Structure 1
Amino acid sequence: MDSNRPVSNPIRLQVMANALAGIAEEMGARLIRGSYSANIKERRDCSTALFDAQGACIAQAAHIPVHLGALSEAVRAVVAADPCPGDVFLLNDPYQGGSHLPDVTVVAAIPGWRDPDRICAYAVNRAHHADIGGMRPGSMPADSTELWQEGLVIPPVRLAGLSLEGELYWQEDLLRLILANVRNAEQRRGDLQAQVGASAVGMSRFRELLARFGEEEAWQLIAGVIEYSRRRMRAQIQALPDGIYTAEDWLEGYGDPPAPLEIRVQVEVEGEKLRVDFTGTAPAMAGNLNAPLAVTRSAVLFALRCLLDPTAPSNVGLEDPIEIVAPPGCLVNAQFPAAVVAGNVETSQRIADVVFKALAPVAGLRSIAQGQGTMNNCVLGNRHFTYYETLGGGQGASRQRPGLDGVHVGMSNTLNTPIEALELEYPLRVLRYELRQDSGGHGQQRGGWGLIRSIQTLQDCTLSLLTERRHYAPQGEQGGGPGQVGINLLNGDPLPGKISRSLKAGDVITLYTPGGGAWGSNEDEQAPEPR
């Protein structure tokens, strides 16, 4: 980024902040409209952002929290690969800034406005592909023990090139190699094309922005927006009482009953700085609940932003006052080649939970009971189709209001697949989809209700479930009661929280998702009311 002095004109800064956010949002809209798979076009499991030439975030769209905090490491990995202006890079390696292998990242190097032979910024998007190869359809196996079992590992590689005239050049050999290693290859091709198209939009719009403001003033304004976010975050941290705040929580792990895995955090507040330390957390495990450091970073930044300043412009300025410590080899800083597919979707939830819990005593009105704490990952597929869904549940209640019903909580921010789209695209039939009444905790403000969803398979296929909160309930706050745990059933018989197995045509899988915790003592309990 240009080191020129930041511009302090508040009106110009607001215009620039909105313009940057608008570019990121337009990239997301283009990606969603152009995608082939229901997971992106219907569920919107994707994220977009802009970065400067050094890999610092300058704007993000309000998409998937577990994606956004990890993107900076992915961009830095691309910068280290020596891109040229117009290059479009592809990667999914969790140990180079990816989150898990199905999350595929596209990074486009934007040529400068005055000097197109120089990279001035990067247009970036990440999207969850319904399959990226590996041992099970959907690339979300419950039984993986090393990274290669979860799919094709892609380091930063050149996928395509974009000219200033808008022409696109594909590395066809690389594309053929990728498509030869995934299921439903034509759908994967379409989603990759949509991702590259979204990057082209970002490149074009950002260069137009530089032309409109002039390159020098534009970078001064961008520096000003980042400094504004930095000042706001520092002020919010400084408003907290100095001290050390601790918490612990557990993942359920594997087995029935499961072997718990502890996540422990110590949050130290000192002046304008905040340190989040996971020393004492369980070591990485043989299964796939391990989280790479990029995912841990995403979860910590999400929780702190919710607690401290949810409305500031989202950029690197919010991250600068925060230090994250996670001993290498622990559950939240897994090392290659540990399996990580559930670390992204489940462990990230518990990381956010413990940060919320640690700061609850000083969070004031932003203190909240625990939500469902799981994404309820359900994958059904065979050689011909792959259906992937994460299901909402109950949100935790707060002092001001009850928890929301049937929503994604924490690190996910997706929609559900509409039943009409699901049954049109997949050999599946939805038999039941409703709120799980009275599944939230009881208290002064009740916890949100979970969901019930039953799906019948119309073909033989493979099922993979990655779910949590089937034994340890989401906890209430300030004396509020816990939410109900989730339940997994196959033809009415219980299933463990994590399993991969074969299904026959006609089998019915049912998920009861957890409710959220309540806020406030049961002595002041209000009767739950549907909304």
Structure 2
Amino acid sequence: MDAITLEILRNQLESIAEEMGQVLITGAYSPNIKERRDCSTALFDSAGRMVAQAEHIPVHLGAMPEAVETVRERDPHPGDVYVLNDPFAGGTHLPDITMVSPLTVREEIVGYAVSRAHHADVGGSTPGSMPAGAREIYEEGLRLPAVRLVSEGETNDDVMDLLLANVRNAGERRADLRAQLAANDRAEERLGDLFAEHGEGVVREGFDAVIDYSRERIESEIRDLPDGTYEATDVMEGDGISEEDIPIEAAVTIEGESIGVDFSGTAAQVPGNVNAPLAVAKSAVYFVVRCVTDPEIPPNHGCYAPVSVRAPEGSLLNPRSPAAVVGGNVETSQRVTDTVFLALAKAAPERVPAQGQGTMNNLTVGGRSGEFAYYETIGGGFGARAGKDGMDGVQVGMTNTLNTPIESLETEYPLRVEEYSLRANSGGRGRYRGGLGLVRSVRVEENATVSLLTERRRYGPRGVAGGEDGTPGENLIAGKAVPAKTTRDVPAGTLITVRTPGGGGHGDPAERDSTLAERDRENGVVE
């Protein structure tokens, strides 16, 4: 395929995935999707290879191929739509509900549209479906294998009724599910337009061409990295049941045009909910490889082809059912990212920043009777880079969501935000300082259940090249410090405060430019 046609088709395919995301976001009812944009969309070919994705949530996107493969094994037909969330069969964690739709042209399946969205509640033992002390997946919500929600164009009301009967705030769930259906429908419409514009043969050839293009570019980037095996270790700060450190060990082998990551030294699966399905570990590795090569390479199956990931069955990163996993998707994925970055820093130190906050700071507040369920991940410090300070108060690593605007939060929920500010002195000092964490204080105006799933409360994000570590985070309920992972029933009037970690610094603090240091003081970065 000539370069001009390839570039036109690549952009058109990516625009389909982006438009799917816009349909989902504008059609959703929950602030978690319409405001925070905790969702992802992608387009696959008929062989189950990702050909285009919207730049949404890294932990969603790298795991999507597992969902498509699960559906392909079910012998889908034109007009079907499958829904699933089972982490042991194509999902990530239960709140992330995935829809997979075969895309057809003249009654032949030519591809798949996929949308994945984090629903604010999917049942389980606590509002918001993210209980800190869960010991098995059954406590975390309704578990859906790949089932037909739509069969040959007709909605299966029995499946929809069963799903909605097991979640809190069923009206909001129904609306968000319909937004996902609309997103997948838009993909079929736009792909049909593409076939009509270019012809079936050209579009099918384009699927292969965009994948080959990305594979060739990523292989070229990997060739520039020095061959060898690079190892690193980091830890999770407990699993919600025990406070003991849980090691994650990565051995990254670069050989020619390929990268293999082996997690054989990682801990066995744990009783708590920080176990992460292998698809989640793969997502984290894919993300890191893209970061240390060229993030501008079009993201599709070609980016993943030269990368292999191994984790022993029964380990923290490849647990056996019915392990609890809701924290693995949001927190363990972050630590996998940190660990693989640490390893690759030995191969390409100039391409790897100091550690960012390394947590999503998951805060869930909900009413026991199901009248509301608020969920949010809270930003923190980005690690300093070789030539720049870290960014302040941003999402880091495996999440790419926005915050919930205060106006929306206070309108939708019985909550009041009393502080939302940058956290002074939280970024690690260095020639370039780490980004600042945030302070988010929310007062609950009704009796509620609060769940916190967080990390980096014991060990701050590491600085590099002589830079200092970032400040660890802190969680408080009613003014008292609580563990990193906790679920509590609280009365109306309770104040919840989350202080997020700052990023690590880069370089010797004594070498910081005096102008930058003065600007820090003027801006209240340091006190």
Above 0.5 in TM-score?
yes
SS at 1:96 equivalent: coil
Matched, 1:46 2:39: yes
1:294 is aligned, of 279, 301, 304, to 279
Q: Superposed, which structure 2 residues align to 1:25-64 within 5 Å?
A: 25-64=18-57
Structure 1 residue identity aligned to 2:268: P
Matches within 5 A, 1:340-489: 340-382=325-367, 383-489=370-476
Post-superposition Cα deviations, 1:255-303, rounded to whole Å, max 9, x if no partner, equal 7992000000000111111111001101100000000001011111011
Letter of the structure 2 residue corresponding to residue 365 of structure 1? E
Q: Which residue in the other structure is 2:185 paired with?
A: 200
1:117 aligns with 2:104: no
Correspondent of 2:222 among 221, 225, 237: 237
Q: Deviations over 1:16-52 (max 9, x none)?
A: 1111110000000000000010000000000000011
Contact 1:256–1:496 (Cα < 8 Å) also in 2: no
Q: Distance in 2 between matches of 1:15 and 1:339?
A: 44
SS at match of 2:269: coil
> Using the alignment, how far apart are the partners of 1:454 and 1:52 within structure 2?
45
The equivalent position to 1:151 in structure 2, one of 131, 141, 144, is 141
Matched residues in 2 for 1:522 and 1:257: separation?
36
> How far 1:334 moved relative to its partner?
1.1
Amino acid at match of 1:480: G
Q: Note the alpha carbon deviations across 1:184-232, whole angstroms, 9 max, x for none.
A: 0000000000000000001110111111110101111221111110001
Match of 2:17 in 1: 24
Deviation at 1:362, TM superposition (A): 2.5
Compared CA separation, residues 241 and 179, structure 1 to 2 (3 A): same
Paired AA for residue 477 in structure 2? L
Runs of 4+ aligned structure 1 residues displaced above 3 Å come to 254-257
User: Is 1:99 paired with 2:84?
Assistant: no
**What's the offset of the Cα at 1:161?**
4.6
**Structure 2 CA distance for aligned equivalents of residues 344 and 390 of structure 1:** 13
Give the secondary structure class of the aligned counterpart of 1:95.
coil
Match of 1:312 in 2: 297
The two structures, once aligned, show a CA RMSD in angstroms of: 1.2
| One-letter amino acid of the counterpart of residue 27, structure 1 | M
The secondary structure found in structure 2 opposite 1:362 is: coil
Q: Name the residue aligned to 1:70.
A: 63
Specify the SS of the correspondent of 1:355.
helix
State whether residues 476 and 518 of structure 1, in contact with CA within 8 Å, keep that contact through their aligned partners in structure 2: yes
Answer yes or no: is the 8 Å Cα contact 2:239–2:274 preserved in 1. no
Determine the C-alpha separation between the residues in 1 that align with 2:299 and 2:76.
25
Name the stretch that deviates more: 95-104 or 518-527.
Answer: 518-527
- 2:161 partner SS: helix
Q: Give the corresponding residue for 1:166.
A: none
Aligned to 1:505: 492
**Residue 130 of structure 1 aligns to which amino acid in structure 2?**
A
Q: Percent identity?
A: 53
- Which stretch of structure 1 is more off in the superposition, 424-433 or 518-527? 518-527
What's 2:200 paired with?
A: 215
Amino acid at match of 2:267: A
Superimposed CA distance per residue, residues 54-82 of structure 1 (whole angstroms, 9 cap, x where no aligned partner): 21111111000000000000000000011
Amino acid corresponding to residue 147 of structure 2 in structure 1? V
Contact 1:290/1:338 (8 A) holds in 2: yes
Aligned pairs, how many? Answer: 516
Segments of structure 2 that go 5 or more residues without pairing to the other structure are: none
Provide the C-alpha distance between the structure 2 equivalents of 1:161 and 1:450, rounded to a whole number of angstroms: 47
> For the Cα contact (< 8 Å) 1:99–1:344, is it kept in 2?
yes
TM-superposition CA deviations, 1:460-495 (whole Å, max 9, x none) = 000000000000110011111000000101121111
